[in-house]
Structures are given as structure tokens and as C-alpha cells.
Amino acid sequence: MSPTERIPTLILGGTGYVAGEVLRLVVGHPNFEIAGVMSDSQPGEPVAKAFPHLAAVLGDLRFLSEDDVRSQLAQHPRSAVFSAAPHGVSAALIDRLLGAAEAAGTRPRMVDISADYRYGTAEAYAAVYKHAHGAPTRIKDFTCAVPEHLATAPTPHVAHPGCFATAILLASVPLLALDLVTPTLFVSGVTGSTGSGRKPVDGTHHPTRHSDLYSYNALVHRHIPEITACAAAATGITADFAFVPHSGPFARGIHATVQASLKGTTHGSSSDTATLLARLREFYAHSPFVRVLDSAPRLKDIVASNYAHLSITGNGRTVAVTCVIDNLTKGAAGGAVQWMNRLFDLPETAGLTAPAAGWT
């Protein structure tokens, strides 16, 4: 496509944190142009009312209804659609909108940031979320993967993995793909409060979370089957992930540490830290948003950016990989824009190269 072409872009589920982050990225994108933001709860209300930090660039943009979005999709032969609608809602909404577009003869591309199209079957989804999938016949049209682990999508639409899943997969997949470790991985992850969504709950209420650190859903977190499936798709290995998530006293970011036992064939000089760093750098040599550091990565160096910082350490028996990402950007909106760039044959980095804010 022409580097100056403007692609009409729609955002679903428009009042949440992830939708706001997609909006922030799209308004600064050289090719995507906001055609509308949908909100079931606030149609007709100013979008800047939900996202006052974006007021200077939104003008009088107002939330659309679902019918408005259908009309937009029918008007544009090609369009980009990001769904940040809630889990359990996104599937049926996407199915209705794609069905309407198909009936109108138009071809939108969809990236779903909810969990609804991350699983290969309706049964796998229902086993995790304990309710029926909203559009099982549409699942075949979606592929779920971290962009760094799949060069091109074999389907017209993409499901972006969750934020914890993104960080853990970035750290784990090289270990498995390079046959460095036995396939049992122990993961400790800490996430910021924005990962729990915009609606206040006990786990995100500031007086509860401030100056505190605690684990939750140890070894049974709902992202584990998703991580296992995505790692298997990327490497051909079905690994066992023992994952303990934690709530951290900060708003944005994920810090994940993955540990595993080195295989016997990698013991000795090939498992020292310098060699492991070299292999990790080689694995991500063509991934513009992944940086492998000699020292431990820090959240403040990546918050509000689409970059992931990793480091690796080995002692001859055990290896530890640490990964930091912004949960709202690389773990959600930024990764989704990265995928949408690919779906439209744009440079993968378009609209995503802004550095971290620093000192947040």
C-alpha cells in the first residue's frame, strides 16, 4: 500500500484503559486515521470525557453506537478495527460486525485484544472462562501469537495474547525453541494496577494496593493455558508453566522472571551468561521492539512504550530470563498496532517507535 494512504480505523469497547491506549497510538500513526470509537454505555458522549489526557488531539470526537460502526464498516472498502471490548462480549460483537461488513462487500481487518479469540476451539475457551464462546464459527478466522514469534498471520484477523502472556512468552519461547531447557518453567510475574481494568475493585483500589505486594491465583491463573498453547505453536513443545502472578504497587508495567533447568547438553561453557546473552540476542536479532540487556531490565525504561527489555543469566544448572514490558502498550494496544501494521503490509514499527516516558 502507499506509505501515505490513510486507513479508516475503528476502536470497540471504547472507554477502557486499553481502548484509550489504542486511541493514543492511532492518533499519532502515519497511516491509521480514527473513523470512530464505539461505546455501548456512552454513545454520543465526547470521547475526551473518558480520556481527558487526549483532549488536545480528539476535538469533538464522540462515541459511536454499534449501528454507527456498522455504517462506517459498510462505507469503507478497507478498514482497521481494534476490539478492546470485555472478555465474553467481544466475540459476538466482532462476529456481528464482520458479518455486516461481509454482507456489504467490505473487508475490514480485525485485531482482538480481549481473550475471546485466543483459543483454537470453543471448548478450550469454555474450559478457561466457564461460559460458552460467543461465536464459535468465527474462531477459524483468527490466529493468536506474539508478533515476534510469528512472521505472518495465516488468517485475516489476529488475537493478541494477554499482557502477562506476552511478557512470559517473550522470555520463555527462546529457551524452548533453542532447546536449552527442560520443559518445566517456573514463572514469577508482577503487574501494575491498570492490568485489572478501569472499574475499581479491591485489587486495584489505591489504599489497598499502595506500598504493598501480594500474589494471587498461584499456579491456576487463567493465562496459563493461553501461554502453554502459544508456546507450543511457536516451538512445537508443550511445556509446563508454573506461574505465580503478583499485584504490584504501580499503575503500568509487567516484570516477569522465568526460571528453568538447563539441559545436560548445554552444561559447561555453552551455558555461561555471556553465551546465553549472545544466543538470546541472535534469537531476537530481527525483532525491532525487543532489546536484550547485559544487566537486569527496569520497568521505568519501557513504561508507555512498545519495547520489551530482556536479560538472561545462567549458572551451569539453571537459567533465569527477566522481561519487562508495559502491560497497556506492548502487552495490549502496542502489540495490536504492531499486528495491524503487518496485516496492511506497513512497516512493523509504524507509529510505535516513541521511547519510554522515563521517571514515571
User: Which is it for strands 214-215 and 184-191: parallel, antiparallel or unpaired?
Assistant: unpaired
Domain ranges for the chain, please list them: 7-144, 164-327
Span 227-255, average pLDDT: 97
Indicate which residue of 144, 163, 230, 323 is catalytic.
Answer: 163
User: What Cα–Cα distance (Å) separates residue 199 from each residue in 16, 86, 202, 350?
Assistant: 8, 12, 10, 31
Set of cell numbers at residue 184: 518445566
Q: How many CA atoms lie within 13 A of 313 on its CB side?
A: 11
Burial degree of 274 (CB within 10 A; 0-12, 13-18, 19+): exposed
Instruction: Specify the pLDDT at position 2.
Output: 64
Point out the least confidently predicted range of 6-10, 202-206, 259-263: 202-206
Residue 265 predicted with pLDDT over 70: no
Contact criterion met (CB below 8 Å) for 187 and 244: yes
DSSP 294-308: SS---GGGTTTSS-E
Residue 159 class from Cβ within 10 Å (0-12 exposed, 13-18 middle, 19+ buried)? buried
pLDDT tens by residue, 276-335: 999 999 999 999 999 999 999 999 999 999 999 999 999 999 999 999 999 999 999 999
- What are the phi and psi torsion angles at 228 (to 5°)? -60, -45
Structure confidence by residue, pLDDT tens digits, 320-357: 999 999 999 999 999 999 999 999 999 999 999 999 99
Amino acid letter for position 197: G
Please compute Rg for the chain using Cα positions.
Answer: 20
Q: How confident is the model at residue 242 (pLDDT cuts 50, 70, 90)?
A: very high
Q: Is 163 a catalytic residue?
A: yes
Per-residue pLDDT band at 1 (split at 50, 70, 90): low
Q: pLDDT band at 11, cuts 50/70/90?
A: very high
In the structure, what pLDDT confidence band is assigned to residue 208 with cuts at 50, 70 and 90? confident
Nearest to 128 by CA among 242, 222, 229, 238: 222
Say whether pLDDT at 124 is over 60.
yes
Strand, helix or coil for residue 75: helix
Q: Is residue 25 very low, low, confident or very high in pLDDT (cuts 50, 70, 90)?
A: very high
Annotate 92-150 with three-state secondary structure: HHHHHHHHHHHHHCCEEEEEECCCCCCCCCHHHHHHHHCCCCCCHHHHHHEEECCHHHC
Distance CA 360, CA 101 (A): 42
pLDDT of residue 268: 52
pLDDT > 90 fraction of the chain, expressed in percent and rounded: 90
**7-144 maps to which CATH number?**
3.40.50.720
- For the domain made up of 164-327, give the CATH fold: Dihydrodipicolinate Reductase; domain 2 (3.30.360)
Model confidence, pTM: 0.96
pLDDT in tens, 158-199: 999 999 999 999 999 999 999 999 999 999 999 999 887 777
Strands 214-215 and 240-247, how do they pair?
Answer: antiparallel
How sure is the predictor about 201, in pLDDT bands with cuts at 50, 70 and 90?
confident
- The whole-number average pLDDT for the span 121-149 is 97
Distance of alpha carbon 360 from alpha carbon 206, whole angstroms: 17
* Three-class SS state of 256: strand
Kindly report the length of the chain.
Answer: 360
Per-residue pLDDT for 129 more than 60? yes
Mean pLDDT score across all residues of the chain:
95
Q: Dump strand ranges (E) for the chain.
A: 7-12, 32-38, 63-64, 78-83, 107-112, 142-144, 157-159, 184-191, 214-215, 240-247, 254-261, 290-292, 308-314, 318-325
Tell me the average pLDDT across 25-51: 96
